[in-house]
């Protein structure tokens, strides 16, 4: 073989090897792309499963203490809806039916049972057996929720991929085959490895997300103010000069927005009410207590025209306190009239507020005389709960209406806290919330 031929063969061989390597590289890039794409989709589906199952668990917990057919029916409707959403998320995960069979079966049967209870409760026929079953389902649900949240925490920290979850999830399918009432699964066994629990509670006081009436009755009879008048109000509230108009909003509530490098504030066109404010300043270490922050916030609200406001629930984060204030009408806490105030725990200065709910809902209420006494309604709370505090409250209800209630803060045998609302006119349970207290404040769900 000639030297030239050897060179050509060597060159062609090198070229072919290079092409093979290049193709392998391109294929690997594509493969990694599709793996990452699938992983992201699977992680989204798993997140949906964790969120919906957590909300299903919350609704189950509240259903156990729902002593009126109407509230029980509402809770079971939530259970049914979350069960459907959890099933859809579960079906999007890359696990076999054998691995997910028992988990899917549990969710399906919870949904089916809640649907039956909705129909039963709507007829006013609720017996103790229903609450026994719901209690067992709630206990099982809590165990599963803790496991799912622990895996979600690992996944969020990058310690676990969806393919790892495939292996770990198989532990969840090892269940007792004993049925509750011949139709419902008893419980899942604990996973072999325990993971730290990650709560997925969202802070806010009662009904902060349930009071949007899509109207602003407080402004109906108010006159419009000019940009100059609004600017003067903004500068007075913030004690700041040099604000400039950055926009106007023409939604259901029209307002001017003024800003500088340090803050933003919205002033309503009608009436010149302060609607919201946000400060951009940095906050240092905490130097004052939450009680001092509450007092600072209350004085601020009073000085800008919001009188009769009382603080209730709060949380702390990043050296700030976020405090909910509700309007107080006599003995009644009016939860629809909420204002949220953010206070620096460094110096007590107000960093922001949101009075949108107050603007929508505040009105001169004609509170009716109670048809039932507070002591009389307390007997409807339930023998499994101990009342630690009681009061009166106005709460929003479906259909954008309000209900006048007695509010009972209760504890069960495990020191879990619930807010039970009994209608003062009908003597029936109107709603139920759970209350969580941790090192950062109070949370409701």
Residues 198-239: tens digit of each pLDDT: 222 233 556 665 544 445 677 878 899 999 999 999 999 999
Q: What CATH number corresponds to the domain at position 434?
A: 3.10.450
Residue 172 has pLDDT above 60, yes or no: no
Note whether residue 198 is domain-resident: no
Q: Give 366 or 4, the one with higher predicted confidence.
A: 366
The proportion of the chain whose per-residue pLDDT surpasses 90, expressed as a percent, equals: 30
Q: What CATH number corresponds to the domain at position 67?
A: 1.20.120
Which two structure tokens, joined as six digits, stand for 430? 């109107």
Q: Give 188 or 66, the one with higher predicted confidence.
A: 66
Note whether residue 271 is domain-resident: yes
Which two structure tokens, joined as six digits, stand for 157? 């920290």
Same domain, 57 and 177: yes
Note whether residue 96 is domain-resident: yes
Note whether residue 389 is domain-resident: yes
CA distance 112 to 101: 16
Same domain, 58 and 147: yes
pTM: 0.59
Same domain, 139 and 166: yes
Note whether residue 174 is domain-resident: yes
Domain with 409 in it: 374-444
Q: E-strand spans in 63-180?
A: 179-180
pLDDT on residue 160 = 62
Same domain, 281 and 322: yes
CA distance 332 to 407: 10
Same domain, 286 and 231: yes
pLDDT on residue 186 = 33
Phi-psi region of 243 (alpha: psi -120 to 50; beta: other; left: phi over 0): beta
pLDDT on residue 380 = 85
pLDDT on residue 191 = 27
- DSSP code, position 219: G
**Highest mean pLDDT out of 76-90, 100-114, 140-154, 302-316:** 302-316
Query: pLDDT tier at 162 (50, 70, 90 boundaries)?
Result: low
Same domain, 353 and 244: yes
Same domain, 164 and 290: no
Residue 373 three-state SS? coil
- Which of 164, 185, 206 lies at the terminal end of a domain, its last residue? 185
Query: pLDDT tier at 370 (50, 70, 90 boundaries)?
Result: very high
**Highest mean pLDDT out of 128-142, 167-181, 399-413:** 399-413
Q: Which of 197-211, 235-249, 346-360 has the lowest mean pLDDT?
A: 197-211
CA distance 64 to 123: 18
Same domain, 145 and 261: no
Same domain, 112 and 148: yes
CA distances from 189 to 53, 340, 401 (A): 17, 43, 44
Give the β-pairing of 332-344 and 386-397.
Answer: parallel
223's CB contacts (< 8 A; 6+ apart) are 270, 271
- Which of 185, 205, 229 lies at the terminal end of a domain, its last residue? 185
pLDDT on residue 140 = 82
What domain count does the chain have?
A: 3
Dihedrals φ, ψ of 15, to 5°? -65, -45
Residue 250 has pLDDT above 70, yes or no: no
Same domain, 169 and 226: no
pLDDT on residue 170 = 46
439's CB contacts (< 8 A; 6+ apart) are none
Same domain, 158 and 104: yes
Same domain, 44 and 113: yes
Note whether residue 160 is domain-resident: yes
Note whether residue 121 is domain-resident: yes
pLDDT digits (tens, 9 = 90+) for 279-305: 988 888 999 999 999 999 999 999 999
Note whether residue 143 is domain-resident: yes
Residue 193 has pLDDT above 60, yes or no: no
Q: Which of 16-20, 171-175, 247-251, 356-360 has the lowest mean pLDDT?
A: 171-175
pLDDT digits (tens, 9 = 90+) for 33-88: 544 545 566 677 778 888 888 888 888 888 888 878 888 888 888 888 888 788 77
């Amino acid at each position: 073989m000639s030297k030239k031929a050897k060179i050509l063969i060597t060159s062609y061989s090198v070229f072919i090897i290079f092409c093979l390597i290049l193709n392998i590289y391109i294929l690997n890039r594509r493969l990694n792309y599709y793996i990452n794409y699938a992983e992201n989709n699977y992680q989204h589906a798993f997140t949906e499963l964790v969120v919906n199952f957590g909300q299903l668990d919350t609704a189950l917990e509240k259903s156990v203490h729902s002593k009126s057919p109407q509230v029980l029916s509402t809770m079971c409707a939530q259970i049914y809806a979350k069960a459907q959403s959890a099933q859809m998320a579960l079906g999007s995960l890359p696990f076999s039916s054998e691995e997910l069979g028992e988990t899917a079966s549990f969710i399906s049967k919870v949904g089916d049972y809640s649907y039956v209870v909705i129909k039963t409760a709507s007829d006013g026929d609720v017996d103790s057996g229903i609450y026994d079953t719901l209690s067992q389902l709630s206990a099982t649900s809590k165990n599963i929720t803790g496991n799912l949240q622990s895996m979600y925490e690992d996944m969020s920290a990058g310690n676990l991929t969806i393919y790892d979850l495939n292996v770990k999830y198989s532990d969840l399918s090892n269940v007792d085959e004993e049925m509750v009432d011949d139709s419902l699964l008893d419980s899942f066994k604990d996973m072999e490895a325990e993971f730290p629990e990650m709560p997925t509670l969202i802070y806010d006081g009662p009904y902060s997300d349930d009071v949007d009436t899509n109207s602003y009755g407080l402004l109906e009879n108010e006159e419009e103010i000019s940009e100059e008048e609004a600017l003067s109000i903004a500068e007075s509230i913030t004690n700041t000069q040099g604000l400039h108009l950055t926009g106007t909003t023409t939604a259901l509530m029209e307002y001017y927005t003024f800003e500088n490098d340090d803050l933003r504030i919205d002033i309503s066109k009608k009436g010149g009410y302060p609607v919201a404010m946000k400060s951009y300043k940095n906050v240092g270490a905490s130097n004052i207590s939450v009680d001092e922050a509450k007092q600072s916030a209350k004085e601020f609200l009073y000085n800008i025209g919001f009188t009769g406001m009382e603080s209730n629930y709060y949380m702390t984060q990043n050296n700030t306190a976020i405090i909910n204030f509700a309007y107080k009408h006599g003995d009644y806490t009016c939860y629809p009239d909420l204002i949220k105030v953010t206070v620096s725990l460094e110096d007590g200065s107000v960093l922001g507020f949101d009075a949108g709910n107050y603007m929508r809902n505040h009105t001169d209420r004609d509170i009716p005389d109670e048809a039932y006494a507070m002591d009389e309604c307390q007997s409807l709370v339930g023998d499994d709960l101990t009342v630690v505090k009681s009061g009166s409250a106005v709460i929003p209800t479906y259909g954008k209406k309000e209900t006048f209630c007695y509010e009972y803060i209760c504890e069960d045998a495990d020191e879990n806290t619930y807010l039970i609302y009994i209608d003062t006119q009908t003597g029936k349970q109107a709603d139920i919330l759970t209350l969580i207290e941790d090192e950062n404040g109070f949370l409701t769900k």
